[in-house]
Each structure stands twice: as C-alpha cells, then as structure tokens.
Amino acid sequence: MQTDSALETPKTVVASKAAHIDRATLLRAYRLMQTSAEMARIYEENKAVTAKYVHATARGHEAIQLAAAFQLRETDYCALYYRDDAFMLGLGLQPYELMLQLMAKRDDPFSGGRTYYSHPSLRRPGVPIIPHQSSATGMQAIPATGMAHGIKYLESINNEQLIINNSAEGPTAHQQEIINSSLSIINSTPVVLCSIGDGAMTEGEVAEALQMAALHQLPIIYLVQDNEWGISATGREMRSMNAYEFAAGFKGLHRLQCDGADFVDSYATMQAATDYVRQRRGPVLVHAKCPLLGHHTSGVRREWYRGDNLAKHQQDDPLPRFHQQLLTEGFSEGELGYARAAAEATVQEDYQRALAAPNPDPATFADHEFAPAAVTEEAGERAPQGADKAIMVDAALHAVDDILREFPESLFYGQDVGGELGGVFREAALLAKKYGDARVFNTPIQEAYIVGSTAGMSAVGAKPIVEIQFADYIWPALNQLVEELSKSCYLSMGKFPVQSLIRVPIGAYGGGGPYHSGSIESTLLTIRGIKVVYPSNAADMKGLMRAAFLDPNPVVMLEHKGLYWSKVAGTEDAKTVEPEAGYVIPLGKANVVQEAAADKLAQGDTCVVITYGMGVYWAKAASKQLPGQVEILDLRTLNPLDWDAVQAATRRHGKVLVLTEEPLMNSFAESLAGRIQRHCFQQLDAPVFTLGAANLPAIALNVELEKQMLPNADKTLAALQELLQW
C-alpha cells in the first residue's frame, strides 16, 4: 500500500499482511474469485448466447473488488460501474441473479430486464444500498458524491440545529422521525463507495465531484480501478498522469495506492480507506492497478487490438497469485480445490437456471416511468381573506421557507443562493441566515454537480431544492439530468425515483441579452422521466412549488424572470393574493384563466389560446381588443400535460392558437398543435395556429431587436383576428 506520506513497494509487504485476515475471509475471497473467473469463462464459452446483450466482466479486477466489498455494511452505499460483477459477488449477490440481468430476464433483481449486465440498483436487507447508475462513463462520481453530501447533511440534523415551526410546541411527528433517522446515521457512520475506471477520471464532471468532496469533507471513497485501457485507447494516450497523481491537486482528499491484482494488499488498503472515512468523515481516493484480462466488453473483443499487451497483463492474473499466497499461509491444495469445484458447480447450475428463466412480460414495458405523484388534489387556501398580494419571486421565497421549516430533510443550494445575497434575483433572501450554511449554501460554478448531486441526495433520504442561475446555463447539467435523474425510476423498476426540485429562471425580460434570456422548455421536454412546471402567477408559483417538492420524481420548475416582480407592462396580474402555507396544486392540471362570453360561444365566435408563462399576459392584453371572444388556458405544467383540458377547450371553441415565447420551429408548441390537429380534427373549424419567437439562435441584447424577435400583445392580436375570421 502507498499513501500520501509513506511509500511502499506493494509486492514486498503482502505476505505479512495476510496474517491479519482471518482464514474464513481468505477462503471466501478465493471461492468468489474462482466464481467470478468461472462466470467469465462460461460467458465466453457460450458467447453466442451471452453476447446477445453487451456485457463486461471483472476478469483481472477480482482482487480489488472483493477486497472493497468485504469492508462494507448494509448501512453503506455503493455506486458501481459496468465491470463490477466480482464486487457484487462480494456483497452477497448470487451468480444466478447477475445472469438474470446478463440475459435480460424478468426476475433480474435490478431492472427486470431493462438495462445492461452489472448495472445494479438494489435495496435489500444485509446488502449496502446500490442506487441506479448509468453507463455514461464517469457520470457516477457526481451522484455518488451527492450521496455522501446528503449523509453529511442528515448527520447534522438535531433539535438545536432545526427551526421547528417557530413555536414552543416541539417537533412534529415527521420532524421527530427525521431526527431519529439522523441519530441512526450518526451511529452507523455510513460510507459511500464510488467505483470508477482510470480513463473516466479525465471527465470534467469527476473533477467537480472531487472538488465538492474535498471542499465539504464528505464521507466517500473513490475506488479507481486502473487497467491502463479505455476501450482501445491506452493510458499514455488519454492522460498525463494517473488518478493518484491527479488527486494530489484536491487539498483535503486523502490518497492511497495498492496493487489491485493482489487481494491481501488490496484488502489492507481498502480497510485503511474505510476506517479513515468512518473515523474522520472525509474523502479518500484509492488508486488500484489491475490487469485487464477479458474483453473491454463482449462487443469489443481483446484480440482486435491488444496484441502482446494481453500476455503482459496475464502475468498479473490475481487468481494464481492468490492461490500461491494461500498455500504459503497454510491452506492445502485440497481445500482450495474443493472451493474451486464448488464455485464451478454453482456457476454451471446457475447458468442453466438463468437460461430457463422467463422473459419479461411485454405488457409491463411502460411500468415505472414515474413514481406515483404525492399530490393529486388541490388543497389549502388559495386566497385567504385579508391576505396581502405577493409578487411571484416572494411567493417562491415563502414557499421554500415553508418547506425548509416543515421538512428537516430538505435543503437548498446553487450558485449565489446562500450567504448574504440569497440569489441574483433575491429569490432565497435571508434563507441561509435563517437555516444555516449546512442547509442553504452556495456551490461552485458547477451545473452538473448541482443537478447530478440531487440523485445521490435523494437516494439517502435528503430532499434537495437546487437552482440553475439562468436557463441559458443549464446545458452542462444535461448529462446528469438525462443519464442519472431521468432514467433512474424506470431502469430501477421504481426502487430509486429521484426526488429533485430544480429551479430555473427563464425567459426574456428586456435587454438580458443572448445568455440571460433564453427559453429551453422544448429541449427539456424531449427528456423522458422528468416533469416540467411553468407557473405564470404568484398563487400558482406557491402551490406548484410545494407540489414539485413533494413529488418523488425529478421536477424542473421554470420561473419567468419577467414575471418575478410584475414590472413588465401587462403582467400586473402575476401579482396575486398569496396562498396560505401548505397550499398545493397537483402537477398536470391546467387552469382556465379567462373564459369566453357565453353569448359569443353560442354564436361560434370564440377561440382558445393555449399557453403558459409570459404567453398568458400577451393573450390577456390582446384579448382586450376582442371582448368575450377569447378563452385563455394556462397549462401550468408542460409534462405531464393536461391533455384532457386541451381537448375540452378545443371542443368548446373549434379554433386554437398555441402561443409560446420559444422559437417556433420544432418546438413544444408546434408539437402540441400537431397533436391537437391529429386527435381533434373533427372538432376544428380552422387550422391550429401557432405563434412564437423568431427562429434564431439567441436573443439579441438591444431591446428593440429583442422586441422584434419575440411575440407580444400586438402580434398575438393579429394572429387571433386572423384565426377568428375562419
């Protein structure tokens, strides 16, 4: 083992270390190492069957994976990657279970046949919790760090640090439950283990994760398995330094190195790493050199590119090395032979069982897109008697304040939301002072971490509210939003929905320019597995904010900057009487904010504007010139869409304008218009009209250019007049 301060030659110290590992553990490791090797052998021998779906095996990595797995408890968490089947054997999973995933069978315990081999997601007594992780290389580092971040926060919860209802009544039943859970976490000292390859360490998102782990001293181990290959690219092609050397740049990140092909050295190193994290609650990076003895994956075969390198790696095969060590430690050939035979028999039997196991029922293909919504009905007082009117930004602030006060597991973070400022729009003003820096805090300029960490937070029981400062800057977060958040519920068969509320100020507001004015909803709406909310007034903001927080799924809440203060001409109605604390509106319910006159409707002289956000106010202003002729349907939630309300409005009027602030071409608005025409064609008296921004790549800085590009009340009026003439 090699550490920051002491250097050792790994192979010269392993014999003495073996004496500190009990015989049962050594024998179990040998049997599982044989099991892993036999699984790789049988997969290769039957590749016509096993390579139907792509897979990778741990061959060459077995020693470090088993050594790591043996250190973990059921109260710990793992973020594993696609070569970690030996790791899972070490955690107690059976070859049969892994083979069910290999063959995409119905009873695959992780995903029910939905995702690749060695992509686990598991909640099972006696086994560390393994949240869903994607195949995207290096992406697991941020959610794993989010797990550790969530654990650190939950460990901090106690009666003194909580603000409980601002009363002397003490904690509610829910708050006491969270306090008790916090005490349990403190007593179990959980660690998070993030398994990753050395090639993935070059990903920028890995650096974001390491930065936050070191900055906040989080209880996490980054286990870097370095086999010097990234598919066909060698280490010398991909990096100027290995992971151990790279990690030296992160002050406060403890580093260890070991011979990952030697079980005894690996065990001692992983034991030291785990002890360090449990005792000091700070991060460790372990760099383990391993040979790659199998194919990169079943679809990228070693003979295509490895050449003499494979023979070199074979010299470090961990299995014969461990066999010889055990003989030196007093094990007999008979004992080892029996363990090997038992492993081979188990693998052969499990393989035949897996072959015969049933496939998934095709009728279940759509199950678990989302976890069931927590809020299904409007509740609470929307317009309390005597209440003052509030602007949207204050309604949002008060909603978050209510949530932080009521739910101790909640926290709020993003760029500039903590400290004195409380957000560039003052949307988090004074919350950090009120709830403390552990709950409301600033992050670095790391959109990927802000979003991706919520997957890990959610997995450990924390409930994050996060903010992207401007919609124009969300793009670095899309890797995490797509790969880690949106797919988790579906691919884990509902075991790991991601409870995440992502606030995003959006839209043009007069001279914001090309990087502070964009609309992004159509891009977000191509991501399945997330919900997208877009309130247009203060009351809806407060009710939808609470529903979005309580929803067990990822929710992106788009908040129009031009509506925050009702300063833009025509947006005065965005300021409403503020609902009481606890008011909630179910996601996916549109609202008729303006009805057409009954006599005009009876004459067939009306239309409906289907819109959201700023479009509500363009439609209101335009309709003043068409008294009684225009209904306005505010969608409020774009996914899930209130399709029933859309169809009902279309049937009432027969004439529809879909209005958006986005560039129109290929937008959500055009998609919705097409759907209306397809499904409501017989009820239409005119083509479905659409109106949006000009099809340009950015909003110009000059306000006159901006006005020319965007819809407005006059453009909306012209469209409505043309529509009504049909």
Number of domains within the chain: 3
Q: What is the CATH number of the domain that holds 613?
A: 3.40.50.920
**255-308 residue pLDDT tens:** 999 999 999 999 999 999 999 999 999 999 999 999 998 888 778 887 777 777
Whether residue 470 sits in one domain with residue 567? yes
| pLDDT class of 526 with cuts at 50, 70, 90 | very high
Q: Is residue 11 part of a domain?
A: no
149 belongs to the catalytic site = no
Whether residue 290 sits in one domain with residue 253? yes
| pLDDT class of 704 with cuts at 50, 70, 90 | very high
Three-state DSSP at 359 gives: coil
Q: Residue 129 — φ and ψ, nearest 5°?
A: -75, 130
At 162 the pLDDT is 59
DSSP letters spanning 699-715: --SSHHHHHHHS--HHH
Q: Is residue 8 part of a domain?
A: no
Instruction: Note whether 554 and 486 are within 8 A (CB).
Output: yes
Whether residue 319 sits in one domain with residue 406? no
Whether residue 557 sits in one domain with residue 677? no
Q: Is residue 556 part of a domain?
A: yes
How far does CA 73 lie from the centroid of its chain?
Answer: 24
Q: Is residue 217 part of a domain?
A: yes
Q: How many CB atoms lie within 10 A of CB 416?
A: 17
Q: Which two tokens stand for residue 479?
A: 């890797």
Whether residue 608 sits in one domain with residue 546? no
Q: How far, CA to CA in Å, does 251 sit from each of 159, 165, 216?
A: 33, 39, 11
Among residues 398, 516, 560, 653, which one is catalytic? 516
Q: What is the CATH number of the domain that holds 171?
A: 3.40.50.970
| pTM score, whole prediction | 0.94
Whether residue 407 sits in one domain with residue 512? yes
Q: Is residue 719 part of a domain?
A: yes
Does residue 1 have a pLDDT over 80? no
Q: Residue 440 — φ and ψ, nearest 5°?
A: -125, 110
Domain boundary among 325, 347, 364: 364
Q: Is residue 12 part of a domain?
A: no
Whether residue 706 sits in one domain with residue 633? yes
Consecutive H or E run containing 167: none
Pairing between β-strand 637-639 and β-strand 531-533 as defined by DSSP bridges:
antiparallel
Q: Is residue 379 part of a domain?
A: no
Instruction: Determine the Cα–Cα distance for residues 312 and 93; give it in Å rounded to an integer.
Output: 31
Domain boundary among 549, 577, 605: 577
**477-499 residue pLDDT tens:** 999 999 999 999 999 999 999 99
Domain boundary among 519, 544, 577: 577
Whether residue 607 sits in one domain with residue 564? no
At 17 the pLDDT is 60
Whether residue 156 sits in one domain with residue 49? yes
| CA nearest neighbour of 82 among 35, 37, 2, 140 | 140
Q: Residue 366 — φ and ψ, nearest 5°?
A: -100, 0
Whether residue 408 sits in one domain with residue 347? no
- Domain of residue 452, residue span: 389-577
Whether residue 355 sits in one domain with residue 264? yes
Does residue 5 have a pLDDT over 70? no
Strand ranges for 190-306 from DSSP E:
192-197, 220-226, 229-230, 233-234, 254-259, 284-289
At 103 the pLDDT is 96
